[in-house]
Amino acid sequence: DSVFAAVVQAPEDPILGVTVAYNKDPNPIKLNLGVGAYRTEEGKPLVLNVVRKAEQLLVNDRSRVKEYLPILGLAEFNKLSAKLILGDDSPAIQENRVATAQCLSGTGSLRVGAEFLAKHYHQRTIYIPLPSWGNHLKVFTMAGLSVNAYRYYDPATRGLNIQGLLEDLGAAPSGAIVLLHACAHNPTGVDPAPEQWEQIRQLIRSKALLPFFDCAYQGFASGSLDADALAVRMFVADGGECLIAQSYAKNMGLYGERVGALSIVCKGADVASRVESQLKLVIRPMYSNPPIHGASIAATILKNSDMYNEWKIELKAMADRIISMRKQLYDALSARGTAGDWSHIIKQIGMFTFTGLNSDQVAFMTKEYHIYMTSDGRISMAGLSSKTVPHLADAIHAAVT
C-alpha cells in the first residue's frame, strides 16, 4: 500500500473549480464568467502588443543571460514599480524610505508581506473585508497571522457598508493590520468614494492600524493608472507607513509570468534599509530569488516612454471594453423588464460584478443556460462580449422570475 494511502481527496478550489466544470460541459453555448482573466470581444486571451514588442527586444538582445536575479529581484523593476503605484514625484521614494521586493505576482507579494509581518511586527491580527478575495484568508493564515473580518459590503444597497466598516476597524486592537483593496474590490466591485477613503484613513491613522494594500487592478478599474492609485497615495501622503502588494497579471496581461512587487513604505531611510535586509531573509528559504523573464518585460515597458504610453492606451482599451459590457448588460436587462434594480451593474467597477444572485439562481443558470460563475453570484465582465450579453440577460431574467 502507498505510504500516502491516508491522504484524502482535496476539494477543488472554488474559483478554479468553475473552469473545471465549464471545460467538462459539451454544450457549445456554454459561457465561463468565473475566470479572473481578460478576454477579447471574441472570447480569446489577449497578449498586449507592447508586451510582444518588449519580448522581441529582450530576445534580440544577445547580451542577456539567464543568471540568477538577486534575492529581491530586478532592481530596476522594483524602482519602476514603486514609482508606478506611488507616483513620479513621491516624497517617500525621493527620501529612500520604500523597501521593494520583486515577488511572484500579487499572491506572492501578499505572502512575502505576511511572512515579514508575522516575523517582525508586534501585532499578529489582520482584518480583511467581508467578503474578500478567497485567497486572502488562506495566505494570511498560512503565514501565521490571525484573520478577522471587517464589514464591507451591504447586500441591501449592493454598495459599501461604511458605517459597519468604521465600527469594526474602530473596535480593532491598536496596531492591527488592515487589508485594503486599493481599487476594484474583488469580488464586489464596490470601492469607497474618495471622501470615504479619507474617513478610513483618519480612523486607521488615529488607531495606529497598519494598512496593507492589495493592488491587483491598477489601471484596469478606471482605465487610469493614477486614478486607481488614489487611495494608496492618500495613505502615503500623510507620511505614515504601509505595505503594498502589486500585480501585473491584469494590467499588463502577464498572468502566468507571475510578475509583482511588495513595497513597504517606512518612516525613514534607515528603517527601510533594515526592513529590506530582513525581506531577503524571508525570501531566501522560500524560493531563493524570483524569475527573470516577466519582470524584464515589465521593466522594459515601464522605462521607455513610448512603450509606456502604448501600454496605457492598451490598458485603457481593456478597461473601456469592460465598462461597455456593464452598460450593455444593464441595457439588456432593462429592455427585458427584468424585476429588480440592476443599477449596481454600472455602478460597480473593475473586472467583476457582484450580481446579487444567490447560489440557487447561479445553479439554475448553470443547469439551464450553461453559464458558469462562482456560487456567490460574481461574474467576470471580462468574460462577456456583445454576442454573449443577450444569453446572459435571458438567463438572469429567467433566474429571478
User: Which positions are catalytic?
Assistant: 133, 214, 250
Q: Identify whether the C-beta of residue 221 lies closer than 8 Å to the C-beta of residue 215.
A: no
Per the rule left: phi > 0, alpha: psi between -120 and 50, beta: everything else, 219 is left
Helix (H, G, I), strand (E, B) or coil at 212: strand
Q: Does 263 contact ligand PLP by CB under 6 A?
A: no
Q: Does 366 contact ligand PLP by CB under 6 A?
A: no
Beta strands in 172-255 (DSSP E): 177-181, 210-215, 242-247
CA angle 238, 94, 68 (to 5 degrees): 115
Interface stretch with ligand PLP, choices 69-77, 99-107, 115-123, 367-375 (CB under 6 A): 99-107
87 vs 260, beta carbon nearer ligand PLP: 260
Q: For residue 184, what is the DSSP state?
A: S
Q: For residue 227, what is the DSSP state?
A: G
48 vs 216, beta carbon nearer ligand PLP: 216
Residue 33 Cβ, how far from ligand PLP at the closest point, in Å?
Answer: 14
Bridge-based pairing of strands 210-215 and 177-181 is: parallel
By CB under 6 A, what part of segment 306-325 binds ligand PLP? none
Interface stretch with ligand PLP, choices 2-10, 67-75, 104-112, 375-383 (CB under 6 A): 104-112
Q: Does 36 contact ligand PLP by CB under 6 A?
A: yes
- Applying CB under 6 A, among 90, 100, 188, 247 the residue interacting with ligand PLP is 247
Burial-class residue 207 by CB neighbours within 10 Å (0-12, 13-18, 19+): middle
Interface stretch with ligand PLP, choices 60-68, 78-86, 100-108, 318-326 (CB under 6 A): 100-108
- Applying CB under 6 A, among 260, 290, 294, 377 the residue interacting with ligand PLP is 260
- Applying CB under 6 A, among 73, 87, 106, 377 the residue interacting with ligand PLP is 106
By CB under 6 A, what part of segment 120-139 binds ligand PLP? 133
Q: How many other C-beta atoms can be found within 10 angstroms of the C-beta atom of residue 53?
A: 18
Interface stretch with ligand PLP, choices 103-111, 291-299, 334-342, 374-382 (CB under 6 A): 103-111
The count of residues interacting with ligand PLP (CB under 6 A) is 12
Helix (H, G, I), strand (E, B) or coil at 175: coil
Question: DSSP letter string over 242-287?
Answer: EEEEEE-TTTS--GGG-EEEEEEE-SSHHHHHHHHHHHHHHHHHHH
How far is it, in rounded angstroms, from Cα 291 to Cα 21?
32
How far is it, in rounded angstroms, from Cα 289 to Cα 67?
11
- Applying CB under 6 A, among 147, 249, 301, 332 the residue interacting with ligand PLP is 249
Site string for ligand PLP, 207-246 (x = CB under 6 A): -------x-x------------------------------
Interface residues with ligand PLP (CB under 6 A)?
36, 105-107, 133, 181, 186, 214, 216, 247, 249, 260
